[in-house]
Structure 1
Amino acid sequence: MSLVVKDNSLINASYTLSLVEQRLILLAIIEARETGKGIDTETFLEIHAQHYADRFHVDVKNTYSMLSEAVLTLFNRQVTYMTVDERRNKPEKRVVRWVSGISYVEGAGVIKLRFAPEIVPLITRLEENFTWYELMQVANLNLYATRLYELLVCWRSTGKTPVIEINDFRSKVGLVENEYKAMCDFKKRVLEPAIKQINEHTDITVKVDQHKTGRSITGFSFKFKPKPQTKTNKAISQGRDPNTADMFSKMTDAQRHMFSYKLSEMPEMSKYSQGTESYQQFAVRIADMLLQPEKFEELYPYLVKIGYK
């Protein structure tokens, strides 16, 4: 499973990335997690052209040139997000770069990138305020659909978003000021295709409501719900034996991954860790353990300690 974890302040930030650049960011997060390298301000993470092609179902021959071009643009990309000035206890709008260094290895089809210091905690802070999703959910989405999906799953617990003001929404999905200014163009080129792709290719179905001031559309809100899965399809999608009973717990997959990260940081769980594995690797293993009835029962007291009911 290729799990992407981002702080919700980053999910709700405003930034403009191309589809290739957005995917590179996601692959770098996964690279750090799957290799155990972690994400810090010193380590260069590697993204291979073949991995990119495999994950996003594109021809590897085209991937080399796409990655080479992305190096030239990603370094200059900025992200604007809201934080709090703790001394004054006031909102603070912060503008930072995504990466502090990036390079392309000629002939090898490899990008090396290092996240900027301000971005690192937004990706690695696994507290209450994060959103997770599997890369496979966005593998077949365009840029706008990917950003919309990220925004929606921030509200997975409620299944609906608040009203998002139109200019705020435009910046969140990565539009620059003069792109698709006419509402008819915005709907036709951005909103409607994004919703269609999400409904066709992801684990949720979404509907949009438009909100008006007078005759003008001034914002949108969204309602969404998980797609129903048969037991067999669910088991297959998770790589499990469809004949194995897994109804011993009402824990959803979203909860399983969230609680596995919390469990990985508990001192009491150290007896389950192996060798020098990172917290991220340990959490992945715990998530798998929670799929086993006997292990779930064994870990249940720890789950209760961290808020599972």
Structure 2
Amino acid sequence: MQLVVKDNALINASYTLSLVEQRIVLLAIIEARETQKGVDTETFLEIHAQHYADRFDISVKNAYAMLSEASQALFNRQVTFMMIDEKRNKPEKRVVRWVSGVSYVDGSGIIKLRFAPEIIPLITQLEKNFTSYELSQVASLGLYATRLYELLIAWRSTGKVPEISLDDFRDKMGLASNEYKLMHNFKNRVLEPAIKQINEHTDITATYEQHKQGRTISGFSFKFKQKKVRKGERCEDLIRDPNTPDFFVKMTDAQRHSFANKMSEMPEMGKYSQGTESYQQFAVRIAEMLLEPKKFRELYPCLEKAGFQPTLN
């Protein structure tokens, strides 16, 4: 079991990370807790492309490229969290970097990072308020679903998350002020795909309720419950789609790119998005994924929804 453990201040923090960067942070947190030498301001943690590929079911080649790209952006990523000024006993908003140093070892598929001093206590000194979950629960989730899953399970003891204001919720999802400003876009591209992914791929089933001031939606609250797992059965067995076809159909390049463009705009494809990429960039990656038999079978329901009709030999 690989356990991700975070202080609740970090769970409820506001930050913007791509999906790859977020996954690197999760793997680094696991490494930080499992290492025998401990974590301090001098400790560099190593994340290997093979490890990343194994945990998130992608090719090692893609993992190399993802880690290399992430290493260039991760140093500038910030996190904003609330704490208490003990001297004045008042809330204090603190902004810090995630890491104090990061590098990529060319040709080795290894990213090395050192957590910033303010982050270290939030992942290693967890005597009071913390949340933990197995990494496997978020391995198949997209960017927004991962963040929402963390927010939900911080309330695992009650199964209810009190109303979160719209602005606060957007911050917690890592959205910029100009992203998905219209409510129907926010719901279709962020909230509802995240709920759907959580319900399909994790150990909980979640619903949300919207709250209004007048006619304007002002916030959301959530309820969730633990899925029942029968003895000797895994959650993966409960959520497997029995209708997923056990075949691979070769497509022409023109077909792959045509359907990939359609699929890139589907809400249910959100879990495969890297968060910061354009629809065009996403479509190119989808076209590459359709070359892999395993991914083809996984993506087939979306491919069929886009209008693809295979001719079987």
SS at match of 2:38: coil
- Rounded to whole Å, the distance in 2 between the matches of 1:38 and 1:209 is 42
Greater mean deviation of Cα atoms: 29-38 or 8-17: 29-38
Tell me the residue number matched to 1:170: 170
- Give the drift of 1:198: 0.1
Q: What residue is the counterpart of 1:158 in the other structure?
A: 158
Aligned equivalents of 2:37, 2:90: Cα separation in 1: 35
What is the distance in 1 between the residues matched to 2:226 and 2:235? 16
2:132 aligned with 1:145: no
Encode CA deviations 1:31-77: one digit per residue, 9 max, x unaligned. Answer: 22333233221110000000000000011111111111111110000
Structure 2 matches for 1:60-139, cutoff 5 A?
60-139=60-139
Q: Say if 1:106 and 1:153 are closer, same or farther in 2 by CA, change over 3 A.
A: same
Contact 1:5/1:123 (<8 A) preserved: yes
* Secondary structure at 2:160 match in 1: coil
Report the AA paired with residue 10 of structure 1.
L
1:88 Cα shift?
A: 1.0
Shift of 1:232: 1.6
Percent of pairs identical after alignment?
74
1:186 is the counterpart of 2:151 = no
Q: Give the Cα–Cα distance (whole angstroms) in 2 for the partners of residues 103 and 210 of structure 1.
A: 42
2:96 aligned partner, one-letter code: V
Secondary structure (helix, strand or coil) at the match of 1:233 reads coil
In 1, the alpha carbon distance for the partners of 2:212 and 2:236 equals 44
8 Å Cα contact 2:5-2:123 kept in structure 1:
yes
Alignment partners' CA distance in 1, 2:143 and 2:38: 26
Give structure 1 stretches of 5+ with no counterpart. 238-309
After superposition, the Cα gap between the structure-2 partners of 1:90 and 1:204, relative to the gap in structure 1 and judged at 3 Å, is same
Mapping for residues 1-309 of structure 1, pairs under 5 Å: 1-233=1-233
For 1:102 and 1:34, the matched residues in 2 are separated by 20
What secondary structure does 1:58 align onto? coil
Counterparts of 1:149 and 1:32, CA distance in 2: 22
Structure 2 vs 1, CA of residues 236 and 198 (structure 1 numbering), >3 Å: closer, same or farther? closer
**Please, which runs of 5 or more residues in structure 2 have no aligned partner?**
238-313
Whole-angstrom CA distance in 2 between matches of 1:114 and 1:163: 35
Runs of 4+ in 1 over 2 A off after TM superposition: 32-39, 234-237
One-letter amino acid of the counterpart of residue 15, structure 2: Y
Q: CA deviation at 1:197?
A: 0.2
Task: Provide the TM-score with structure 2 as the length reference.
Answer: 0.74
The answer to whether the Cα contact below 8 Å between 1:29 and 1:39 also exists between their aligned partners in 2 is no
Query: CA 1:235–1:72 in structure 2 vs 1: closer, same or farther (change >3 Å)?
Result: closer
TM-score by length of 1: 0.75
Read off the aligned partner of 1:2 and give its amino acid letter: Q
What is the letter of the counterpart of residue 150 of structure 1?
E
Supply the RMSD in Å over aligned alpha carbons: 1.4
State the SS of the aligned residue for 2:187.
helix
Which SS does the other structure have where 2:228 is aligned?
A: coil
> 2:76 aligns to what SS in structure 1?
coil
CA offsets per residue over residues 76-121 of structure 1, 9 Å max, x none? 0000000111111111100000000000000000000000000000
In 1, the alpha carbon distance for the partners of 2:25 and 2:143 equals: 13
Paired position in structure 1 for 2:269 = none
Asked if structure 1 preserves the Cα contact closer than 8 Å seen for 2:16 and 2:175, the reply is yes
Task: Report what 1:302 is aligned to.
Answer: none
- Residue matched to 1:257: none
- After TM superposition, the structure 1 stretch with the greater mean CA deviation from structure 2, 84-93 or 3-12, is 84-93
CA–CA distance in structure 1, aligned partners of residues 162 and 134 of structure 2: 24
CA distance in 1, matches of 2:106, 2:133: 32
User: How many residues are matched?
Assistant: 237
